[in-house]
Amino acid sequence: MFKNDKLKKLDNKYNSHAYTGLMGIFMRYCHEQLEKIEFPKKISKVLEIGAGSAPHIKYIKHSFDEYHIIETSDFAINQNFDNSKIKISKYDGKNIPYPNETFDRIIISHCLEHIPFPEKFLFEMMNKLKEGGVLSISLPTDPGLLFRLGRLYLKIFSIKKNYRITKEEFDYMNATEHINSIFSLKSIIKFHYRNKIKEFYLPFKIKLVDLNLFYNVHIIK
């Protein structure tokens, strides 16, 4: 989506506080839980898509030979990593710029809900995996009941103090950013890969979207 300077400034203010306060506690927990899985094969080459400011990489527990990050914004591009194995590049957000069957693992955390035509993008990610590779997805449970209550809490008690944006700006960001609902995304994933997934409902681990804030799922190719 095209963003003028006004929208870019709003986007920066909104996203720069995603890891502060109560929301930050839950976001860090979500990243941590995405790494609590045993992988079926050695992980050599990793791709992370839409990394933002790249908060997830510090939670990675397995070793790797290459860790590629592609991002449409400047959040990750401006990060400096003291590790020659980590490669960061900017891309157009449309086509993943690597050949098929390149990666042992692909990570997409809090990103698929923003992407137009998520089913097509899901197929493309799976194509980039080697046989036996793992696609790790983390999603907010928007518009589930608990997620909406959490958003209401932020709107009432947090956005003016921490985000420094108005309630109207907060509503606008939520209306335009999460274009795919958890119910749609979960249905797409389970329809195509029901027998190849390991799923986790967070933080309460009850297998109901409405009673959790996040949905983590790993698809094994």
For the chain, what are the domain ranges? 38-110+127-137
Pinpoint the alpha helices (H) of 88-162: 118-128, 145-157
pLDDT for res 161: 72
Q: Which residues of the chain have pLDDT under 70?
A: 1-4, 16-17, 74-78
pLDDT of residue 2: 46
CATH C-level class of 38-110+127-137: alpha beta
**Residue 3: predicted pLDDT:** 60
Instruction: Supply the pLDDT for residue 193.
Output: 97
Query: What pairs with residue 66 in β-bridges?
Result: 45
The pLDDT of residue 20 is 78
Segment 44-47 long-range contacts (CB within 8 Å, at least 24 positions apart): 44/104, 45/102, 45/103, 45/104, 45/105, 46/103, 46/104, 46/105, 46/106, 46/107, 47/96, 47/98, 47/102, 47/103, 47/105, 47/106, 47/107, 47/128
pLDDT digits (tens, 9 = 90+) for 132-149: 999 999 999 999 999 999
Please tell me the pTM assigned to this model: 0.92
